[in-house]
Amino acid sequence: MEPFDFKEFWQGLSLEEKKQLAKEAGTTVNYIRTHLVYARRVPSRNYMTELHKAVTRINPNISKEQLLSFFYAAA
C-alpha cells in the first residue's frame, strides 16, 4: 500500500475543490484545515466514510485504508 499524505493532498486542491470536498464530507474547510490536515483529530467511522467518498471524487485511486493510515500513523 502506497502511503497517503492528506495534508499534501489538501494543499494541492484549489479553494473551490476544498469547499466542495468539505461540503461533500459534511464539514467545513476550516474544520478540515484545523483538525484533519495535521491529524489532530481522528474522524469517527461515519465521518471517515463520508470523507473518503469526498476524497475519491477528486482522486479515485485513494483507498480507505490509505486515508485511515494517515490518521492512525499520526495518533
- Residue 74: per-residue pLDDT: 60
| Total residues belonging to the chain | 75
In a domain, 25, yes or no: yes
- Residue 18: per-residue pLDDT: 98
Summarised one tens digit per residue, pLDDT across range 6-59 is 999 999 999 999 999 999 999 999 999 999 999 999 999 999 999 999 999 999
In a domain, 22, yes or no: yes
In a domain, 1, yes or no: no
In a domain, 33, yes or no: yes
- Residue 75: per-residue pLDDT: 55
- Residue 73: per-residue pLDDT: 83
Distance CA 25, CA 2 (A): 23
In a domain, 36, yes or no: yes
The set of residues, in sequence order, having a beta carbon less than 8 Å from that of 7 and lying 6+ positions away, is: 37, 38
Structural domain count, the chain? 1
Is the separation of the CB atoms in 53 and 24 below 8 Å? yes
Please report how the helices 45-58 and 64-74 are oriented relative to each other, as an axis angle in degrees rounded to 10: 120
- For 51, the domain range is 6-74
